[in-house]
Amino acid sequence: MKKILVTGGCGFIGSNYIHHVFKNDNDTHIINLDKMTYAGNIHNLEGLPNSFHTFVEGDICDSGLLKTLFETHQFDSVVHFAAESHVDRSIDGPLEFIETNVVGTLKLLEQSRAYYNESNPNDFRFLHVSTDEVYGSLGESGKFLETTSYDPSSPYSASKAGSDHLVRAWHRTFGLPTLITNCSNNYGSYQFPEKLIPLMIINCLHGKPLPVYGKGENIRDWLYVRDHCDAIHTVLEKGKVGDTYNIGGNNEIMNIDVVKTICSLLNTISPKEDGSQYEDLISYVTDRPGHDFRYAIDATKIKRELGWEPKESFDSGIQKTIQWYLDNSSWWRAIQDKSYQQERLGVIE
């Protein structure tokens, strides 16, 4: 049985990845290391058997804990999700992002290197999950390639760029068998409600304003999270060591159109009792500092070399996502009660 260390497995993408592996790979045991920050939620993994999933609460910056885990479990691979990930929060408090995303990745790389050199495990892989935000902002045309120069705009993207560079250096200098994936904007089940899509869905259901930055003309390439997880596992199993793979959804959409789509679908699925339209709740607010205009991923390489492409269109994925939040209101209401009330973050006074 393969043993995979998943860091940040109680977060949005990490928990979806664990569910994906459970559904598609019976010969695996996941050891899930999560610090349980505000975005970590053990309820994301309810129903998984102990024979498949072991949860360990702890910090990737804890070298002693990492050493114990590697010695105990003799991992076949590491899939590294653990990161502070919200741009607005990185504006409010950049230090946490450097500590977790850069220093934490360094500690994990060093322990992986020590284990790899001492144990020589067959086919060991270290897969680092990153973001397209490291590339900076695009104009009206063009797409990010794996060879695009890095040009991060926010403390968040700068910290992820730093961690990407460390992973490449540990491969080139020390021979650690690494892989990097850079993905476009994810959406789907279990996403913490500070992000655009769940924020808009939940605010609609509460009848609260729908805050849209600037004119809402910023463009993102939207990727359904389970498609992303399928791509990650494909790279883990088939990717060429030392390579980077861009993962995109082929769904470039302006933010305002995303919001209007959510409003339109909710008008049909869960209409307001007073008969008014959800779109009436849209309000335009001061733009975020350093807000990148456009992201778009060229995912040709992963399709050509590994045969992966997304299964969901934005239309099908957003309908599944809205229905999930409608069916799982107890999940996000518990978050509201505990740690987040849809307040705006990242405002510079």
Residues that are catalytic: 132-133, 156
- Bridge partners of 294, per DSSP, are 219
| Measured distance CA(67)–CA(70) in Å, rounded | 5
Label residue 36 exposed, middle or buried (CB < 10 Å: 0-12, 13-18, 19+).
Answer: middle
CA dist., res. 41 & res. 93, Å (int): 21
State the Cα–Cα distance between residues 124 and 4, nearest whole angstrom. 10
Q: Do residues 108 and 114 touch, judged by C-beta distance below 8 A? A: no
Which parts of the chain fold into alpha helices (H)? 12-24, 63-73, 87-92, 94-97, 105-119, 155-174, 196-206, 225-238, 255-269, 300-306, 314-327, 329-338
Structure tokens given for 196: 């655009």
